[in-house]
Structure 1
């Protein structure tokens, strides 16, 4: 399945801190297909935050971007999941993806090369066949 690769980016503030939100546009077919009922959230809390911006420092942003690319490749090449949103604020980078199963995503995450060391991520999962997490966040952004 070929996914839309059109991303919408929004910059703003959340609780007086800068925030950047990127979400994938054109995922209505996947959302309505019922193939991806599991919402997986991955959080990377930066160890070094730029005091001026609240974002991870430049060196850590490079690592986060590399992980992002490897994550997309691992889950979307199967395809066992679809990355739909990325939020960055207060030193935290959060990925929201929808998956066919938790087990498939676990296998995909385990396949990501760790040649630069383990990634400081936390992973959580919940059933969300209607994609409410994504839809509510996306719609909140659109109304701002």
Structure 2
């Protein structure tokens, strides 16, 4: 399992969420599924989120990366960005996720980068590119989230 990293959030975002009583690093770097998968978020803003996933422990019976693991990484990164877009009084709900798997991976650490394609009042869409340690694209995904009021 990779070493725990410190998540980098923009200071204005930290200030806004702290005023609402939300501890952002705990919100986005812990949780049973991310812990189980070994997902770590390295950088996060509404426009771009970067995170990693180890291949080891996330394979299908034939030793290749499980496609569902790529989907979990993609949704985690995109949802994190959508939550930052929504701010402390709104939350994201994934409504569409699609993944295209380009190549298999048997070992190493994958890196995913979610980049905003659309940031609207009630929705946010992200392209997520997942690459291996050599920079080769393993998966391309797109996630659309509805951004809802918490009240």
User: If the length of structure 1 is used for normalisation, what is the TM-score?
Assistant: 0.34
Q: Of Structure 1 and Structure 2, which has the larger fraction of its residues in strand?
A: 2
